[in-house]
Amino acid sequence: MNNKAVNHGGIIILSSFAVAFILNMVPLPDNLENYRPEWVTLILIYWCLALPHRTGVFTGWVVGFLLDVHLGSLLGQHALVLSIVAYLSYKLHVRIRLYPLIQQSLIILLLVALSQMLILWISGITANAPGDWSYWLPSLTSMLIWPWVFFLMRFIRRVYGVN
Amino acid sequence: MQYVGAIAIKQLFDEDSSYLARLIFVVVFSIILMTADHRTNMLSGVRSLFSLIIYPLQTIASTPVDAGLWLDGQMNSHQSLINENEDYRTQNLLLKAQLQKFTSLQAENIRLRSLLKSSRKISDQMLIAETIAVDLDPYKRQIVINKGQRSGVYAGQPILDAYGIMGQIIHPGVPSSTAILITDPSHAIPVQVNRNGLRTVLYGTGAANFLEVQNLPNNADITVGDLLITSGLGGRFPEGYPVAVVKNIKRDPGQPFANIIAEASAHLEQSREVLLVMGLARETIEQEQEQEQEKEKDSHEQ
């Protein structure tokens, strides 16, 4: 029996976040821009569900902070929102693991939509808030793409023995 | 398996209360950070430090576009390259001819200004930079360029392309910088109508290439097709560069101001190469020095 409590695979977690950042940044044609799923949020939710003792509020905060630096938004805006998302994932993770995939996707929709709403609130107070219904499209596409993300990340986690 | 599961759940419940405490701490800290970033400029150093981490990711993210452009360049036939070269030669010749006239006009301008005892204007020095092909917030009009504080980039520095003013730098990082375009909804640039010198301010609308004039009354002397150039007021942008062309004017007698929409002259969404005005800060310093020298001379003569 392997009794070591060593944390394996930190590199894998970091690389998955790096890839999520890059996917968020890759330029898309203007009319497709709003269909981009929130890759970073999805990867964060996955790791919070899979490894709740390792990735949590602080991970969400750091990732959100880096997202703020990249997007040029207020420092702390995405950090705040993603730490809340991480906290909620932690609270829900015991139950979500048992849900069928479709129900999981609905929870993902709610989490991503919540994060978008919080960002909209903060933007509304400090800067110009976007007024389109197309602002919410990323939540939908994130929900649709969740099953693939889940299976891919689970495969990677098992192959590399991340714990 | 169940034994391991029970241990895991026990661990989680022990941490539960401290977890909420962590969240509250992080939320309060974030609110403090946001307030500091929104009201003051204290955090710009922090931002440029962390842009060092983001920069490699941005470079990787722009490789598809860069690779596509490189491939496009490789695919060009020999003949089309020769033709392009010829076009550039002729353009260059025409531009140089125009430039000769410009140099003499500039000299005449300096003479006339010194006759009127106005301060001398020095021509702006430019630094060439490239935009990094990454997408930022889709609701803000911002771009990332590949020059940073190492090259002397500072916050508020104007950027332009071959066709007009593009915007200004807001976050000078170390390897790269973020700039805001004139079409960003939170940007405003002081302009004047080229034809008659009427001064006004051009606001960004958030739409890709359009800006609006918000504060001209219905009877202002402005028409469709007027060129709006920078007026230099505010000291941010150098004077005389094209900004936009008036596209549409709606004069509603019931409204206090005319609804004027202008289209940006610069190719805001397409330009790969941009120019940064280097000399602006120096120009004002040299002006001040000259004015001081003038005052000294006057006091000596007395």
Three-state SS for chain A is: CCCCCCCCCHHHHHHHHHHHHHHHHCCCCHHHHHHCCCHHHHHHHHHHHHCCCCCCHHHHHHHHHHHHHHHCCCCCHHHHHHHHHHHHHHHHHHHHCCCCHHHHHHHHHHHHHHHHHHHHHHHHHHCCCCCCHHHHHHHHHHHHHHHHHHHHHHHHHHHHCCC
Closest alpha carbon within chain A to B30: A76
From chain B, pick out residues whose CB is under 8 angstroms from the CB of A71.
136-137
Q: What is the DSSP letter of B127?
A: E
Report the phi/psi class of residue B13: left, alpha or beta, with left for phi > 0 and alpha for psi in -120 to 50: alpha
Query: pLDDT tens digits, residue range B212-230?
Result: 999 999 989 999 999 999 9
The whole-number average pLDDT for the span B202-220 is 90
Mean of pLDDT over chain B: 84
Yes or no, beta carbons of B27 and A84 under 8 Å apart:
yes
Report the pLDDT value the prediction gives residue B99, as an integer from 0 to 100. 87
The whole-number average pLDDT for the span B55-66 is 89
Yes or no, beta carbons of B137 and A72 under 8 Å apart:
yes
Query: pLDDT tens digits, residue range B218-269?
Result: 989 999 999 999 998 888 898 888 999 999 999 988 888 999 999 999 998 8
Report the pLDDT value the prediction gives residue B182, as an integer from 0 to 100. 95
CATH code of the domain occupying B126-285: 2.40.10.340
User: What is the percentage of chain B residues whose pLDDT exceeds 90?
Assistant: 34
The whole-number average pLDDT for the span B264-281 is 83
Candidates B43, B53, B62; nearest CB to A66: B53
The whole-number average pLDDT for the span B10-37 is 82
pLDDT band at B179 (very low <50, low <70, confident <90, very high): very high
Report the pLDDT value the prediction gives residue B43, as an integer from 0 to 100. 86
pLDDT band at B16 (very low <50, low <70, confident <90, very high): low
Query: pLDDT tens digits, residue range A77-111?
Result: 999 999 999 999 998 888 888 888 889 999 999 99
pLDDT band at B288 (very low <50, low <70, confident <90, very high): low
pLDDT band at A3 (very low <50, low <70, confident <90, very high): very low
Whether the predicted pLDDT of B202 surpasses 80: yes
Whether B221 has its CB under 8 Å from any CB of chain A: the answer is: no
The two tokens of residue B199 are 């001064």
User: What is the percentage of chain B residues whose pLDDT exceeds 70?
Assistant: 86
d(CA B56, CA B63): 11
Closest alpha carbon within chain A to B38: A74
d(CA B29, CA A104): 31
Vertex A106: Cα angle to A105 and A112 (nearest 5): 85
Cα–Cα distances in angstroms (integers) from residue B37 to residues B34, B137, B177, B192, B254, in the given order: 5, 17, 17, 33, 40
d(CA B296, CA B293): 5
Mean of pLDDT over chain A: 88
Query: pLDDT tens digits, residue range B62-113?
Result: 888 888 888 887 887 788 889 999 999 999 999 998 888 888 888 888 778 7
pLDDT band at B167 (very low <50, low <70, confident <90, very high): very high
Candidates B11, B64, B269; nearest CB to A53: B11
Cα–Cα distances in angstroms (integers) from residue A163 to residues A50, A153, B96, B180, B298, in the given order: 9, 13, 66, 42, 79
The whole-number average pLDDT for the span B169-190 is 91
pLDDT band at A2 (very low <50, low <70, confident <90, very high): very low
Whether the predicted pLDDT of B4 surpasses 70: no
Cα–Cα distances in angstroms (integers) from residue B62 to residues B57, B67, B134, B179, B194, in the given order: 9, 9, 6, 17, 38
Report the pLDDT value the prediction gives residue A1, as an integer from 0 to 100. 43
Torsion of CA A63, A66, A70, A75, to 10 degrees: 110
Which comes out higher in pLDDT, residue A75 or B133?
A: A75
pLDDT band at B14 (very low <50, low <70, confident <90, very high): low
The pTM is what? 0.78
Whether A83 has its CB under 8 Å from any CB of chain B: the answer is: yes
Q: How much is the ipTM here?
A: 0.86
Query: pLDDT tens digits, residue range B120-152?
Result: 555 667 888 999 887 888 788 899 999 988 888
Query: pLDDT tens digits, residue range A42-56?
Result: 999 999 999 988 888
